């Protein structure tokens, strides 16, 4: 969706199609609220990558993970654990998603943990010199922690800028900075020592038990390239679709918008590549759309991306 009105148009098409029983949204920055207003009284909605405010605060919209709230709040909690951390320099995307998570989640949680925060917005099309200026404006040179809630291109520019200026703050950021473009930029590596938080487990870390290996095998059979398979957003869309399919298959002939909606609310697992046990509609009174309070965490150390214990942000979400 490119504009807010596209959400209404798309939703009207779904409602008019009698074969549609549930709507699954991938990742959208605009049009979300209009889509939900159009379909919610007729169709249940599941969001794979809930990032916008409407994804997580609209009653009747559900995400089987903790949404952008969980990794962003986890970013703040992990930043506060950095030895000697007193100040965090933060770059956030100026788009609606980046503004929401940067100003309404990351900054207040960092401050609640006792850190001084310098928050600087940058555009999604920001050039490398603009990113350098933003890093300087955020005061990264005098900060113990550096954080980003941006798209991967800005992560790449920020990495280059930190290297060129010989700045070595601890970097705690989101999975966007570990997307395939960063691996390609660094010839098959990630920045050493960087910590990444995410909605769900990284598709790059082998794991038979959480369904990651099945996901990679399915994408490989489908002819997907590595850049598609190891995209964290694609992995979460796959997870959401598989969960909805599981629910529909269990309902069988009884499947309908009403029974699927109830099954979503009552669903208690399992979840592919997603930490935590789902409790849809019961996690937070304010953020009604999310179903868990867990954020997945990875860290790139000694040339290897390693999974760390997930962070529970339940107290923050309340």
Q: What is the CATH number of the domain that holds 25?
A: 3.40.50.2300
Q: Are residues 87 and 54 in the same domain?
A: no
Is 89 domain-assigned?
A: yes
Report pLDDT for 236: 94
Residue numbers of the chain with a pLDDT score lower than 50: none
Q: Which domain holds residue 109?
A: 69-198
Is 151 domain-assigned?
A: yes
Task: Give me the number of domains the chain comprises.
Answer: 2
Report pLDDT for 201: 96
Is 313 domain-assigned?
A: no
Report pLDDT for 2: 65
Q: Are residues 18 and 133 in the same domain?
A: no
The whole-angstrom separation of Cα 151 and Cα 1 is 18
Q: Are residues 89 and 158 in the same domain?
A: yes
Q: Are residues 74 and 187 in the same domain?
A: yes
Q: What are the tens digits of pLDDT across the range 135-165?
A: 999 999 999 999 999 999 999 999 999 999 9
Q: Are residues 185 and 214 in the same domain?
A: no
Q: Are residues 17 and 56 in the same domain?
A: yes
Q: Are residues 88 and 167 in the same domain?
A: yes
Q: What are the tens digits of pLDDT across the range 193-215?
A: 999 999 999 999 999 899 999 99
Is 314 domain-assigned?
A: no
Q: From 176, 198, 220, give the residue that closes a domain.
A: 198
Q: Are residues 21 and 94 in the same domain?
A: no
Is 249 domain-assigned?
A: yes
Is 317 domain-assigned?
A: no
> Residues of 73-92 as b/e, b for ≥16 C-beta within 10 angstroms?
bbbbbbbbebeebebbbbbb
Q: Are residues 26 and 93 in the same domain?
A: no
Is 308 domain-assigned?
A: no
Q: Are residues 74 and 192 in the same domain?
A: yes
Whether 297 and 308 have beta carbons less than 8 Å apart is answered as yes
Q: Are residues 8 and 80 in the same domain?
A: no
Q: Are residues 21 and 170 in the same domain?
A: no
Is 157 domain-assigned?
A: yes
Report pLDDT for 1: 62
Beta-bridge mates of residue 311: 295
Report pLDDT for 268: 93
């Amino acid at each position: 969706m490119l504009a807010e009105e596209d959400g209404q148009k798309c939703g009207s098409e779904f409602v008019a199609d009698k074969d549609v029983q549930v709507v699954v949204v991938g990742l959208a920055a605009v049009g979300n609220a209009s889509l939900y207003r159009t379909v919610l009284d007729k169709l249940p909605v599941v969001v794979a990558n809930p990032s916008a405010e409407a994804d997580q605060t609209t009653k009747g919209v559900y995400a089987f993970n903790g949404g952008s709230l969980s990794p962003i709040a986890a970013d703040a909690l992990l930043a506060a654990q950095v030895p000697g951390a007193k100040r965090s320099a933060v770059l956030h995307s100026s788009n609606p998603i980046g503004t929401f998570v940067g100003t309404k989640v990351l900054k207040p949680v960092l401050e609640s943990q006792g850190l001084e925060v310098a928050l600087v917005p940058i555009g999604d099309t920001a050039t490398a010199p603009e990113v350098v200026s933003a890093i300087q404006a955020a005061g990264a040179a005098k900060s113990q922690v550096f954080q980003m809630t941006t798209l991967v291109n800005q992560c790449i520019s920020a990495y280059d800028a930190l290297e060129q200026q010989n700045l070595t703050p601890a970097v705690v950021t989101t999975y966007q900075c570990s997307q395939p473009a960063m691996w390609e930029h660094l010839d098959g590596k990630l920045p050493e020592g960087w910590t990444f938080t995410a909605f769900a487990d990284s598709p790059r870390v082998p794991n038979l038990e959480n369904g990651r290996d099945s996901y990679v095998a399915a994408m490989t059979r489908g002819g997907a390239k590595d850049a598609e398979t190891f995209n964290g957003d694609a992995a979460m869309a796959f997870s959401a679709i598989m969960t909805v399919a599981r629910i529909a298959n269990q309902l069988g002939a009884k499947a309908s918008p009403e029974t699927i909606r109830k099954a979503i609310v009552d669903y208690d697992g399992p979840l592919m590549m997603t930490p935590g046990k789902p409790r849809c509609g019961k996690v937070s009174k304010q953020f009604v759309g999310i179903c868990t309070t867990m954020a997945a965490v990875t860290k790139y150390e000694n040339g290897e991306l390693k999974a760390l214990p997930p962070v529970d942000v339940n107290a923050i979400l309340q």
